[in-house]
């Protein structure tokens, strides 16, 4: 059987050219298939090489991941193995990392919506934010998802949203233009982000718009997210180039996706695993973007003990995994508009070897909003809770620069000012994190 992998290759001319061509959205002058690769690694030459800088992640910088400066590149491919538990750590000295399927964290559970957008706005005190000009203007919100349908957003909101097509992105082989994707999960996330930040500018990053290898599920694989984050880092680096006029005052990145079960990943103990391995290349990209001022949010997942998604395979302990368990991100669980945790919201602590105190907090979900899945359908899952929180972060960023309050400081204030759920003690707990999101209190504590 063939197993999808990410392989880290040393720099060589075809890899450099592939990365440059991808950034410029043109065909490479030097074909990627001329690169020297291990015989056992079957490279996907349709997937551009991604520069990942030095092997020492502590010294990774924006300069180090420029294609001509990068010492290493990630390529996507497959290796032949006898069974899923026999994946080698390396082939011919080339290290292998997991490229697991990833999927949106959407679940409806058959329950009708609990309230609607007005209830969410009231709970979050959006009117108070708006009165102080905290509406997301000049803040970019990247929706890393299935793609955005602008026409649906315009129809539901009564006006088209601000949208930056030039700085959006398309996955390799995806012919659909930014903003023109089918109405689906990504459109729901975009709608929900605009509840608190109606003047924010959307960026479309359809990382979930393909099929996983073998066509077993609708979704994508982590390699597509790696490629997308490489482009997002390049966009942000240009936007904040020294001496230039920044396009945006902030960048908020919404990720309503993840892995439902460890069986999607490499076996336990493999050094290239993703879900419990801060040494995976994806973490290096995410950490670099965060250190350079981007606010990154991840949904906690839908494997809560009361009513887990079927893909969780009844595994509800340590179900916050992968990027959702990184220290650098704000991990968001879900509650309904009555402030009760939704039963499918994944509970902490996280999977061992990652940051344990996740989720950080909960935000609102399971309300009548975008109706992206049909009339009367709720915006649900921690998939909806995450962009609601992302919009709140974008609203605060309207008047609070990353230089004044780096992402870690802002997230700390969001945790500190979160409202404890009824009957729950102060401090962190596995159901609600530090409590229910209160963006107005956080904004006041930050002086905006």
Residues 359-404: tens digit of each pLDDT? 999 999 999 999 999 999 999 999 999 999 999 999 999 999 999 9
Burial of 56 (0-12, 13-18, 19+ CB in 10 A): exposed
Three-state DSSP class for 185? helix
Q: Given a cut of 80, is residue 224 above it in pLDDT?
A: yes
pLDDT of residue 322: 98
Q: Tell me the residue ranges of DSSP E strands in 342-446.
A: 361-364, 367-368, 378-379
**Rounded to whole angstroms, how far apart are CA atoms 442 and 447?**
9
Structure token pair of residue 318: 């340590």
Q: 258 pLDDT band (50/70/90 cuts)? A: very high
Q: Given a cut of 80, is residue 12 above it in pLDDT?
A: yes
Q: Is 372 left (phi over 0), alpha (psi -120 to 50) or beta?
A: alpha
pLDDT of residue 111: 84
User: Cis peptide leading into 359, omega within 30 of 0?
Assistant: yes
pTM of the model: 0.95
- Return the residue matching tokens 């080698």: 88
**Rounded to whole angstroms, how far apart are CA atoms 91 and 86?**
13
What does each C-alpha distance from 120 to 19, 126, 133, 194, 196 come to in angstroms?
42, 9, 19, 12, 9
Mean pLDDT confidence for 270-280: 96
Q: Which residues contact 416 (CB under 8 A, 6 or more apart)?
A: 434, 442, 445
What does the DSSP 8-state code read for residue 421?
Answer: P
Structure token pair of residue 162: 């601000």
Of 39-43, 170-174, 211-215, where does mean pLDDT reach its minimum?
211-215
Task: Write the pLDDT tens digit of every residue in 61-103.
Answer: 888 899 999 999 999 999 999 888 889 999 999 999 999 999 9
Q: Given a cut of 70, is residue 148 above it in pLDDT?
A: yes
Q: 59 pLDDT band (50/70/90 cuts)? A: low
pLDDT of residue 10: 96
**Rounded to whole angstroms, how far apart are CA atoms 385 and 172?**
29
């Amino acid at each position: 059987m063939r197993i999808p992998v990410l392989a880290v290759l040393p720099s060589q001319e075809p890899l450099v050219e592939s990365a440059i061509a991808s950034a410029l959205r043109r065909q490479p002058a030097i074909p990627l298939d001329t690169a020297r690769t291990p015989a056992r690694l079957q490279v996907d030459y349709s997937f551009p090489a991604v520069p990942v800088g030095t092997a020492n992640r502590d010294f990774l910088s924006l300069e180090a991941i420029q294609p001509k400066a990068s010492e290493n590149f990630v390529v996507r491919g497959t290796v032949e193995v006898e069974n899923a538990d026999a994946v080698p750590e390396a082939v011919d000295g080339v290290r292998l990392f997991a490229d697991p399927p990833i999927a949106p964290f959407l679940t409806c559970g058959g329950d009708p919506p609990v309230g609607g957008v007005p209830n969410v706005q009231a709970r979050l005190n959006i009117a108070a934010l708006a009165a102080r000009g905290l509406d997301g203007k000049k803040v970019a919100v990247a929706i890393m998802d299935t793609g955005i349908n602008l026409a649906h957003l315009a129809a539901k909101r009564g006006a088209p949203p601000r949208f930056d097509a030039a700085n959006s992105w398309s996955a390799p082989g995806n012919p659909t233009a930014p903003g023109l994707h089918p109405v689906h999960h990504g459109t729901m996330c975009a709608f929900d982000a605009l509840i608190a930040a109606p003047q924010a500018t959307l960026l479309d990053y359809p990382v979930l718009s393909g099929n996983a290898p073998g066509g077993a599920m609708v979704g994508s694989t982590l390699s597509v997210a790696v490629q997308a984050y490489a482009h997002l880092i390049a966009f942000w680096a240009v936007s904040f180039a020294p001496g230039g006029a920044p396009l945006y005052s902030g960048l908020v990145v919404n990720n309503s996706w993840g892995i439902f079960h460890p069986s999607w990943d490499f076996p336990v103990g493999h050094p290239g695993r993703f879900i419990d391995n801060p040494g995976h290349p994806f973490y290096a990209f995410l950490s670099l973007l965060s250190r350079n001022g981007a606010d990154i949010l991840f949904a906690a997942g839908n494997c809560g003990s009361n009513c887990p998604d079927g893909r969780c395979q009844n595994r509800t302990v340590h179900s916050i995994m992968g990027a959702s368990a990184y220290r650098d991100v704000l991990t968001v669980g879900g509650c309904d508009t009555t402030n009760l945790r939704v039963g499918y919201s994944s509970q902490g602590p996280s999977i061992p070897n990652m940051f344990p105190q996740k989720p950080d907090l909960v935000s609102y979900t399971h309300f009548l909003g975008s109706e992206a899945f049909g009339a009367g359908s709720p915006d649900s899952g921690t998939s909806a809770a995450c962009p609601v929180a992302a919009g709140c972060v974008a609203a605060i960023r309207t008047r609070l620069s990353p230089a004044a309050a780096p992402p870690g400081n802002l997230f700390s204030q969001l945790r500190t000012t979160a409202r404890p759920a009824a009957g729950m003690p102060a401090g962190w707990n596995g159901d609600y994190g530090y409590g229910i999101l209160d963006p107005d209190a956080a904004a006041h504590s930050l002086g905006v």
